[in-house]
Amino acid sequence: MTEPASNYIPQDTVKRFRSQAFKVWGLTLAIVFVWVFAIVLAPFALENGLFGLSSPIYTFFSYICHQQPERSLHFDGHPFAVCSRCFGVYFGLFAGLSVYPLWRKIEEVEPLARFWLFLSIVPIGIDWSLSVFGIWENTHLSRFITGLILGVACATFIIPALVEIKRNMSAKRRTV
């Protein structure tokens, strides 16, 4: 079936959109990698006596996570810079961003149905609720996995949003 002429997008525009999308994806992946690396770097630095490196990392992440040692993964007796659930979310975000171009066109800006994002919150809610009501005590693994699910889901919504923001910013510059 033929498309109307109004739906035609010039091939140079398609290539430009794709190039922009890959740049946005690469930059986002690099930022999230550094974020996850810093979380894991903190206990390594502490173990090796690099307090000038580990202390600012722990301090920075203390503003966004409770950092309770009993709820955190450890390396050689030193806790990661965030709890196991937060680490699961950040690692899931990194994993989701890493594989995103393998399962979805990187230049596609139409997001999935929000239902999937809300559905990804359900495991965390169940894990937390069961623990709060004393029905079941969650573990590092359950916290990490439920965070991982949410992180991967978030990646599938973040990339289209950032690509569209970049596309709109580029379009505004072209018209000015």
Quick: pLDDT tens for 106-115: 888 888 889 9
48-78 pLDDT tens trace: 999 999 999 999 999 999 999 999 999 999 9
Kindly indicate the confidence band of residue 23, based on its pLDDT and cuts at 50, 70 and 90.
very high
Q: Chain-wide mean pLDDT for the chain?
A: 91
- By C-alpha distance, which of 120, 126, 122 is closest to 150? 120
User: What was the pLDDT predicted at 7?
Assistant: 66
The pair phi, psi for residue 79, each rounded to 5°, is -75, 150
Measure the CA–CA gap between 21 and 97, rounded to whole angstroms. 13
What would the two tokens of residue 167 be? Answer: 């596309």
pLDDT digits (tens, 9 = 90+) for 104-147: 988 888 888 899 999 999 999 999 999 999 898 899 999 999 99
The Cα 5–Cα 92 span in angstroms is: 41
